[in-house]
Amino acid sequence: MAKTIRAIHCLNQFFGGLGGEEKGGLAPQWFEGPRGPGSLIQQLAADIAVVGTVVVGDNYMAEHPDEGAAEIVALIETEIAKDPALRPDLVMAGPAFAAGRYGMSCGAICQAVLEKLGISTVTAMHPDNPALDIYRQTLTVVRAGADVMGMREAVAGMVRVGIKLVAGEAIVPETDGTIPRGLRRNYFADATGAERAVEMLMRKLRGEEIRTEYPMPVFSRVTPAPPVADMAKATLALVTSGGIVPRGNPDRIESANASKYGEYSLRGLDHLSAESHQSVHGGYDTTYANEDPNRVLPLDVVRDLEREGRIGGLNETYYATVGNATSVKRAEAYGREIAAKLINVGVQAVILTST
Amino acid sequence: MPTAHVCSIVPISKTVGANRIIPSVAIPHPLGDPDKSPDEEKAIRRRLVEKALKALETEISEQRVFD
């Protein structure tokens, strides 16, 4: 059968056969035809011809992913200009397995090719590859094993999914073995939700296998921090996701899906009031919080306890965001930044209030 | 650094992984109650903050709700 799909394949220095760690800084190189796992692509797919291979060092890409990806796009464009028959239908990268730098490299390359050349891309990674934190929503990534032992399976998946992408077919994570991008697709079900739920319950009672239609997100767990021996000797900080900000909302924190958090002084304030502060949270009735913002950020009581010596001191800056449809990823980033700032100024404990 | 999460919806706090959880009064007024007199309301708020301080001083090995 004639090879009908032209693919360009991208590899790191190791899989491209150019060297190990010592070649990590290698700038992008062009090779005609397949190299390394590219031969497996051709072997597994009767209709894919790997017309060229780009090899780039892991460190080169990890150190400047955007510039590196732009160089690779330029390299591909140059080769196409020299020989239009090289114009690919598909760009394949990896598999990167669980390798972090290689994953970042494959992700950056695929993203740049999609955006700048408008050519379909596919790569493959282990679900724990850190590059997925950045690229899972935008790229088609086949689920791969943790290491090179899963090469054949991963390449077979890339081939299968790549052919579908070129044909313009929809990719369905459950059946195509890709990492879910978080997209929702409408479909007509044979039975109503109530009927399906009862059917699922019956299967569960019979001890049969069930599969949820709505998997819950997996949240990270944090080992509990050791306690503070005596709060009377410690500095406390106040943080809230309840949207309490100085009146007028100087940082314009959004009432939903907040893109930032604010840091505001408490110096000289004995309590919050309707005149000094307000809530900009869009997910609850803010009447009561606006009447008396201490109902969300309990400054009045904390000042009393500070005077009485129950706490050693209050950090004179508080932090606030709006926890309304704010993504977990963003919230985690805010938490990390706020914690770093608090540790930096010697805060030992936090009261975080949420509505 | 220990954090006491004073929140209205304990199941959410548990799901997202807070470790020291103090259930509060209600979603629109977690640390207050507009139906009470100002003094009673402040006393409620003080009890919650004191509970949070206790939680910050308590050794835990896993998530705990401080009722």
Q: What is the mean pLDDT of chain A?
A: 94
pLDDT score, position A38? 96
| Mean pLDDT, rounded, for A213-224 | 81
Those residues whose C-beta lies under 8 Å from the C-beta of residue B5, and which sit 6 or more positions away, are: A352, A354, B13, B18, B19, B20, B21, B22
| Mean pLDDT, rounded, for B20-46 | 96
Those residues whose C-beta lies under 8 Å from the C-beta of residue A78, and which sit 6 or more positions away, are: none
pLDDT score, position A291? 97
Quote the tokens at residue A81.
Answer: 């200009």
| Mean pLDDT, rounded, for A43-53 | 94
Q: Do A353 and B1 touch (CB under 8 A)?
A: no
pLDDT score, position A2? 60
pLDDT score, position B25? 94
Q: Do A301 and B62 touch (CB under 8 A)?
A: no
Q: Do A343 and B31 touch (CB under 8 A)?
A: no
Q: What percent of chain A has pLDDT over 90?
A: 87
Number of A to B CB contacts under 8 A, please give it: 131
pLDDT score, position A150? 96
Best B42, B49, B57, B64 residue to mutate vs chain A (most A CBs within 10 Å):
B49
Confidence of residue A184 (pLDDT cuts 50, 70, 90): confident
Q: Do B60 and A224 touch (CB under 8 A)?
A: yes
pLDDT score, position A1? 46
Asked if A189 contacts A182 with a C-beta cutoff of 8 angstroms, the reply is: no
Asked if A95 contacts A158 with a C-beta cutoff of 8 angstroms, the reply is: yes
A220 at interface of B, judged by CB pairs closer than 8 A: yes
| pLDDT higher than 60, residue A342 | yes
Residue A46's Cα: distance from chain center in Å?
35
Quote the tokens at residue A70.
Answer: 């732009």
For chain A, what is the largest distance between any 2 Cα atoms, rounded to a whole number of angstroms? 85
Q: What percent of chain A has pLDDT over 70?
A: 99
pLDDT tens column, B3-13: 999 998 888 89
pTM over 0.90: no
In the block, tokens 């977990």 appear at A328
Quote the tokens at residue A283.
Answer: 């997910």
pLDDT score, position B15? 82
For residue A106, which of A170, A54, A166 has the smallest C-alpha distance? A54
Chain A CA closest to residue B10: A354
pLDDT score, position A28? 97
> How many angstroms separate the CA of residue B63 from the nearest CA in chain A?
7
Considering only CB atoms, A342 lies closest to which of B1, B24, B29, namely: B1
What is the DSSP-derived secondary structure letter of residue A327?
-
Considering only CB atoms, B59 lies closest to which of A227, A230, A302, namely: A227
Separation of alpha carbons A134 and A107, rounded Å: 8
Tell me how far CA of residue A156 lies from CA of A53, A123, A143, A179, A341, in angstroms: 18, 11, 11, 15, 47
Residue type, A4: T
Tell me the chain A residues in contact with residue B43 when contact means C-beta distances shorter than 8 Å. none
| pLDDT higher than 90, residue A330 | no
> How many angstroms separate the CA of residue A301 from the nearest CA in chain B?
6
Residue B15's Cα: distance from chain center in Å?
16
* CA angle, A284 then A285 then A289, to 5°: 100
pLDDT tens column, A7-37: 999 999 999 999 998 999 999 999 999 999 9
For residue B54, which of A342, A236, A314, A239 has the smallest C-alpha distance? A236
A307 at interface of B, judged by CB pairs closer than 8 A: no
| pLDDT higher than 50, residue A68 | yes
Separation of alpha carbons A233 and A309, rounded Å: 8
| pLDDT higher than 80, residue A67 | yes
| Mean pLDDT, rounded, for A334-342 | 96
Considering only CB atoms, B53 lies closest to which of A226, A229, A310, namely: A310
DSSP for A26-57, please give it: PPPEEEES--THHHHHHHH-TTEEEEEEEEE-
Tell me the chain A residues in contact with residue B41 when contact means C-beta distances shorter than 8 Å. 295
Interface of A with B in 151-190 (CB under 8 A): none
Separation of alpha carbons A111 and A138, rounded Å: 8
Q: Which ipTM score applies to this complex?
A: 0.98
For residue A200, which of A211, A185, A216, A187 has the smallest C-alpha distance? A211
